[in-house]
Amino acid sequence: MTGTTPETPQRDERPKLTVYLASPRGFCAGVDRAIQIVELALEKYGAPVYVRHAIVHNRYVVESLEAKGAVFVEELEEIPDTDAPIVFSAHGVPKSVPDAARNRRMFVLDATCPLVSKVHIEAERLFDRGHEILLIGHAGHPEVVGTTGQLPPGAIHLIETNEDASTFVPKDPSKLAAITQTTLSVDDTREIMTVLQNRFPDIVVPRKDDICYATTNRQDAVKRIAPQCDRMIVVGSPKSSNSMRLVEVAERAGCPRAMLLEQGSEIDWSEFENIRSLGVTAGASAPEVLVDSIIDAFAERFDVSIETVTTAEETISFKLPRPLRDSMAA
């Protein structure tokens, strides 16, 4: 009979744990496209490929691309005069950034998510029609900075909370419009929008919600599994707005405790004593390898059974910039 040490208990000695794996989770089409742009640019043009701001909010992804030759900068001023490609991140940039790139004759590959670009176009359209614009979002988030920077200073007012919506004083209530950041809590945004519509019945709101399909789908999947879970882990970065919202959604939907982790090595095991069920999901910028690291870590300590709970199927993909499409076709 083969014995085991105390450090490696037999499998049947481990407590049983059901892991509810939310689906959809992880990479969305916009993130997948942005990463692909950097990788294909490195293949076609060689290193370095400069990237303004973290291409997506995930340290693992950024470090993986750095290892392949990507150079991340915060501003164009950090980039020397070069023929190398300059990639704009998935979050979008203020208009001043591509203007500056053109002035320096830089070769730009724009990885802005097309759903973010749609909000930019909508903001310009509303402004051209004379509307004062409210942007529901989080101050300082790169997407908010990029959207605000599409228009002259003061043209867009940021609304972060119900209180902001309750106290905002427009110049003309009949010429008011609202747009949103794409990665917000669906429920919070709906509440804020309701406050605005009750106060300003003539406010123009998006015909289709600006919150992206992936954000909505991941929140819906979390809502489905949260009531069954003793704990929930959201794999993602603290800088990732959509990942932070998943933590909030999980606890509101009935999970006693949800937490954000970037990888399995960050697990505080004292948080998971005596649990029988665990929910696992991932923000839109978290690769599946990090989800695997979480599940593998629990499999070392628990007799794990996995149930995948699917609430939507995602088939959306976005076109690459033309120079890279041409290279793939060649």
Cβ within 8 Å of residue 109, ≥6 positions away: 37, 41, 85, 86, 87, 88, 321, 323, 324
Residue 283 half-sphere exposure toward CB, CA atoms < 13 A: 31
In SS3 terms, 174-230 reads as HHEEEEECCCCCHHHHHHHHHHHHHHCCCCECCCCCCCCHHHHHHHHHHHHHHHHCC
Helix (H, G, I), strand (E, B) or coil at 262: coil
Cβ count within 10 A of residue 27: 23
Helix (H, G, I), strand (E, B) or coil at 159: strand
Q: Using CA atoms, how far apart are residues 320 and 326, in angstroms rounded to an integer?
A: 9
In the chain, beta strands by DSSP E? 16-23, 49-52, 70-73, 85-88, 107-110, 132-136, 156-159, 176-180, 231-235, 258-261, 277-282, 303-310
Residues known to be catalytic: 143
